[in-house]
Amino acid sequence: MQAEDWLARWRENRIGFHEGGVNPYLRRYINEFKLKPGDRIFMPLCGKAHDIAWLAGQGYEVIGIELSDIAIESFFAEFNLQYQQFRSDRFVMRKSDNIILLQGDYFDLQSDDLEACKLVYDRAALIAIVESSRNRYCSHMQSITPDDCDMLLVTLDYDQTQMSGPPFSVCGEEVFSHYQSGYQIQVVEENDVLDEQPRWRTQGLTTLQETVFQLKRGKGL
């Protein structure tokens, strides 16, 4: 997937990945990270997820990065939020109270942009990245986030020969191989979710597993 492919998806409203509500794993596991009101949460490849507004409503500051202006402007419009817009050499920043959405390329982020972030919430971001770029995505994540920044990560795992993706299949071993040098990783939930995706069953998928990982950093590593 090139940037243009994602932009075309947004233009053509082919956004089957978008959830119409708050992600249940986010609700279930956010308190495990012992965040304080005002703490910053980074959402890579954030789309127009309802989770952005929900986290902001819980009192956190949310910073997201997203390629598509349509996604970002739709988010603010759908939640009826006014925003201010600023341009830098790398991003267009739109800010509304405790929500900052950067329009641009995740790979252009620098550590200064994510200062003081306490949590990465990665839902449908790692699995949106093609296999050949995932190593770079994960290394970049560790280089731009602070040393004490934990992560809540949700992945999908299926037989990649049965469907081309995105979403791409990312198995648990792969998650460990990318992140075990920097984090203590715990699988907190695994679910067979094929029944929730009848379209993919029709396309030939025979299994589809969703896995939730908690990645903790800077605690005795």
Ligand X SMILES: C[S@@+](CC[C@H](N)C(=O)[O-])C[C@H]1O[C@@H](n2cnc3c(N)ncnc32)[C@H](O)[C@@H]1O
The residues, ordered by sequence, that sit 6+ positions from 215 with a Cβ below 8 Å of its Cβ are 150, 151, 152, 153, 179, 183, 184, 185, 186
Question: What's the CA angle centered on 186, arms 157 and 27, to 5 degrees?
Answer: 80
Residue 6 in tokens: 């994602």
Contact window for ligand X (CB under 6 A) among 29-37, 84-92, 102-110, 173-181 = 102-110
In whole angstroms, how close is the CB of 48 to ligand X at the nearest point? 7
Say if strands 84-87 and 92-96 run parallel, antiparallel, or are unpaired: antiparallel
Asked if residue 106 binds ligand X (CB under 6 A), the reply is: yes
**Residue from 41, 65, 151, 208 in contact with ligand X (CB under 6 A):** 65
Residue 153 in tokens: 């990560």
Asked if residue 105 binds ligand X (CB under 6 A), the reply is: yes
Return the number of the residue (21 or 218) whose C-beta is nearest ligand X. 21
How far apart, in whole angstroms, are the C-alpha atoms of residue 159 and residue 171?
Answer: 10
Asked if residue 176 binds ligand X (CB under 6 A), the reply is: no
Asked if residue 155 binds ligand X (CB under 6 A), the reply is: no
CA quadruple 14, 167, 63, 66: dihedral positive or negative? Answer: negative
Asked if residue 117 binds ligand X (CB under 6 A), the reply is: no
Q: Which of residues 1-40 bind ligand X (CB under 6 A)?
A: 6, 17-18
Contact window for ligand X (CB under 6 A) among 64-72, 92-100, 183-191, 213-221 = 64-72
Return the number of the residue (35 or 109) whose C-beta is nearest ligand X. 109
